[in-house]
Amino acid sequence: MLTKLTRGNQITIPKPIIEKAHLKAGDDYLDVEYREGVIYLKPVEVEERIAPEIFEKFQKQMLKKERDDILVDEKEAEGFLSKRTKKKR
């Protein structure tokens, strides 16, 4: 199948190839390699991580009690979340 390189160095992978490779736009990453005149595209798993200092800042902010916070026990929270998830289905 023929495809064209755009000015922005992008290509469109034909739909039949996307389907055969079980790729999803926006979800999948490809490793690109050039060897002996051939360009290889290899699907890879990417684990997105939060930098430790950002996570620590987030944790401190989320655990800080604010004036308007509503305190509930574990059972109340579980009941509330259970009701919320049922509504979305």
Q: Phi/psi of residue 15, each to 5°?
A: -55, -45
Contact 1, 14 (CB under 8 A): yes
Q: Going residue by residue through the chain, which has 89 residues, state the pLDDT in tens, using 9 for 90 and above.
A: 899 999 999 999 999 999 999 998 888 899 999 999 999 999 998 877 888 888 888 888 887 878 888 888 888 888 888 887 765 55
User: Rounded to whole angstroms, how far apart are CA atoms 75 and 52?
Assistant: 31
User: Rounded to whole angstroms, how far apart are CA atoms 49 and 23?
Assistant: 22
DSSP letter at 66?
P
What is the pLDDT, as a whole number, of residue 73? Answer: 85
What is the pLDDT, as a whole number, of residue 46? Answer: 83
What is the pLDDT, as a whole number, of residue 15? Answer: 93
User: Structure pTM?
Assistant: 0.48
Domain spans in the chain, listed from the N-terminal domain onward: 1-89
CATH number of 1-89: 2.10.260
Residue in 46, 45, 43, 37 with CA at minimum distance from that of residue 20: 43
